[in-house]
Amino acid sequence: MTILCVRFFVARSKKRKRRGTLFGGKPQYRVVEHEYYLMHLCRYIHINPIKHNIVSDIHQWEYSNYQECIGKRNGSLFVPDFIPALFTNKNLYQKFVEDFIPILNDYPLLKDYTFEHRDVPSEG
C-alpha cells in the first residue's frame, strides 16, 4: 500500500510540476511580538485555502476553525483565546478576514506584509 501511495504522489507532483516533500518540508517558526502580526497570521491561515485555489469561498473549507471563530458553527475545532481578545466581537473578525480576500494577491508572501495600513476594522 505504501508503494502505491508514494507512486501516486510522485505522479501527481510531476503532473502539477511540483517538487519536494508532500507537506512542504520543515515548518517555519516566527516570534510574534505584535498584536497586528498575530491578527494577520490568523487571517492568513484562514484564507490560505482561497489563496491556493482549494476553495473559492472561505465558508466551504470544513477543516478550518474559521466557522467557530465567527460563531457560524458549533464544532469541536479549537478557537484560540486570543482571537476574541483581539476583536471585540465576532463580526469584526469576520470583516477583518473577508475584506482582505479581494486584495489577497496584492500580498503574495506573508513576510512582505507590513502593518502600516492598520487594516483592522473598528466598531462604529
Number of domain units in the chain: 1
Q: Report the range of poorest mean pLDDT among 14-18, 47-51, 64-68.
A: 14-18
What is d(CA 108, CA 25) in angstroms, rounded to the nearest whole number? 20
Q: Is residue 124 part of a domain?
A: no
93: nearest Cα among 105, 104, 82: 82
Model pLDDT, residue 9: 63
Q: Is residue 9 part of a domain?
A: no
pLDDT in tens, 57-116: 999 998 898 998 898 888 877 777 888 888 888 899 999 999 988 887 776 555 445 444
Model pLDDT, residue 123: 57
Q: Is residue 13 part of a domain?
A: no
Query: What is the domain range of residue 103?
Result: 27-112
